[in-house]
Structure 1
């Protein structure tokens, strides 16, 4: 079941001060969400500090993370992901959440709080789920198989109140999803109180590779590609068999005129020879089976007939006529005229057959191109639409487009229009994946441990979260925070504290900073005469979520790197606006961030992509440095003034040169 079989369109009302809604799609996942503030006894909305738009976007982001991290996506696991998402909704907010997910041919449906899901199948129309518990922790689900021609409608509770069931049913007849939404949208937008109305209309039309359809001229035969015997019969009707034609013209009439002895019985007749040649020609062309038109290893390399063999056979007929005169001198003139007409007609039929086969091959090539290009282009556009929502899912779609184009590019003649278009689209896909050009600084070399004292002191130390200043190397131990003197390698514990789960360690002007993931805080230890007094760094009222924190770096501001690649910046305890831009490939599995007051850039150890990513202190991408040793790296050190990066990997230290 191809992704291209899904066609959908959505309706979302304009938000108001007391209601908000949104429609969401990622691949085969669809959802509509609405939030409304509860009304008090006087009919006024209950006041609160919640921003419905901000809360709604946070809920959709949470649901996306919960869903796409599921190892197994089935009815129970998706239901749990929805419940974990809706648990964040305050009691003063009324929620309506409807969701659909298509896995292969299985359709999973969910409604949390309130909402409705309808299905139109052929002439039947009815509700699959009609739920209105109005509690975010209550959920109803269903599952089943989607069939060709089905139309699915998932909607919020407010949408069902504005658009009556009759209006909805009437709009579904013989219309595409976009036409349906155009019909229903005015009913939603004309309601001032309709800010919580949202719906998605999804139409499914199964599309399969149809070889019979590609080779036939009769469109009605495309619906039955499996009936190959019917195709053979049609071919026989279109191209008369030489034997049948000869039987109409020979034997009795000719024998009556001149007798049997005019042509020796031990010699093959012209009809028999032509019949043999035609059989040889037909054997050269074998129509491809329907399972051979695929976009993977199963694509046949010999889909075109062997034209040289065909011409060789055809030339053999000419030789047969030239070298053997078929005892024409012994045949009466009247019979020779009939035989000449027969030969001409057979020759015309053979030429017509050759042209028909060539035309069919051209049609097949065009159909194959349309199939390949359309699917790859759809995946490319899908990946582009997902870039801002989910980088991993976007890359997955782009990889699929890349695979389709790469595996089928050589099926078209080099320099042809089809081959040029496929090459151009493949270049766009590669550029979107960040594979269009070589990366600077590629490669590394092993160096002596004396090149980096900071990394050398880590080789036999299994502690976590290292950092350094001019004189010491600091790390988190089981007892708290310890440091090692770079001059004499003496180790001492300077802070005794059980931190639990640590998300980063930093040092700035002798003060020590620790990201505490359990408390979502940054603990600051201020040094005074060799003693460290504990305090808090974040400003009063500043909220933070450090559950995914992986590392921190300080240059006056504090940068906290998360395992999903995002970076949070804080100045004097207050979060600042910060984000990365210009990355062609998303960061995957980052483990360390590095910057200092006296350097210009920020460096990220991107282990998932075996590279070090360089951004400036506004977050704009500058360059990247790739090496296979980074994949298993423990830590790294940047000496920007010396134009060097040192990487600790596998107990060895490697050097990468900065450009």
Structure 2
């Protein structure tokens, strides 16, 4: 027959006049509670008296129940909660074990964790913003489970990784002893927790040892053997000194046997000592592995769970969480022996993270529909004009040729010359505009030529001081939103501000850019858009470089340029001499 054995250990902070906490256990009922009042009262022990009254009421309500199940225990907890005044902030966490079933209830705020094997998980949690409504849960326990009932303050002050580390101690008493200094160091009177160890105890009928009686014949044989020995040891002739005992020459044989026994004992001690050393070394190594595992797995699992909870709300944020989890796991791959339980758990979580990353990186297949040229004055101008590179603002389209810089007003066919090329550029790697100023990426001189609009003319300056060294040999496009972004044919993007390079990289892509040809953003955009011809997609990243989305369409593989209207949630694509529209 199997029954449940429960042992308890508690961690409780020192109370103050404004805050009080305590834990309680009796039989199969246990609880952690904290009370906090908003202002001082004349009665100094008010919270202490109130707390004891609440726990006494809970005890009376519970132990008078004829049937203890979810419904009846809920009523007992609700009846107890009526003792809590409205002006008192409460964190009241209660648990009860009936057979091998655990019932949990939280009034106000609080948390219940469970350690099962090497894993720590949350069974039930209630937050302050959810009000004082009762939250409840139930489930089956397994042998060696440890349940941790925590007030809100305890869960805030003690991290899950710290808690898991101390729960690896041989007993919950030792875990509580190690947690206590941390709790008192916080000086938070609302911190309390009760640790409950659950074990299944089997009742076994012990068999009495039976001793077989010695038979009469065996007894007689034994006596005969004794007589024969005595006869052999007796002298063969009478002694001259009857009172002097003859030396016993059998004794040396006995000493030799004793010596052999001592040698065997010494060998046994040495073997036991050696085995104990081996086990001690293995335990030390195992403890190090467990500590390393606890510093990695819970943190990665937390990031993975955060990502899962965000998938339906914000895939970009979810993907960031998955990437953080992946980095934690990848950095720890060589820390654990192959085929160890820790390595298997790490690999299992890595598989889940990789799968989640693939799901969040899937490109949206977009149907491209052909539209008239008038829908995009920018792309229409590119169709009708031969130039090295193009840029645009709200009113004009700008382009650069080997002869100079020109502009076209939107919808106009009349070209306006802005700057004559006096050997200022020979190889163009991109054109951009910002505040009516024009920027030409000059690949040959590794410089960005800035042409400042003075109103009547454009004056040329160099964007980079001579001390700054850059390499624009692979530059293909540029855009400006106050920072300058330069796209390179190898799929990298460099960012510059006031002539200084800023740390920037693209993060979170499921595959690298292949033959990217155009990058675009502006000061009003939230994101940066990249035309990735090699992968037939348009990639969207935020201003920090983190992946946001990607849109795939067959027409992109032959695209010449694109025109992004972020506010209107559409992108125009120039491909095969036609203009197409996709919605984003």
**TM value normalised by structure 1:** 0.34
**TM value normalised by structure 2:** 0.38
Higher strand share: 2
Which of 1 and 2 has greater Rg? 2
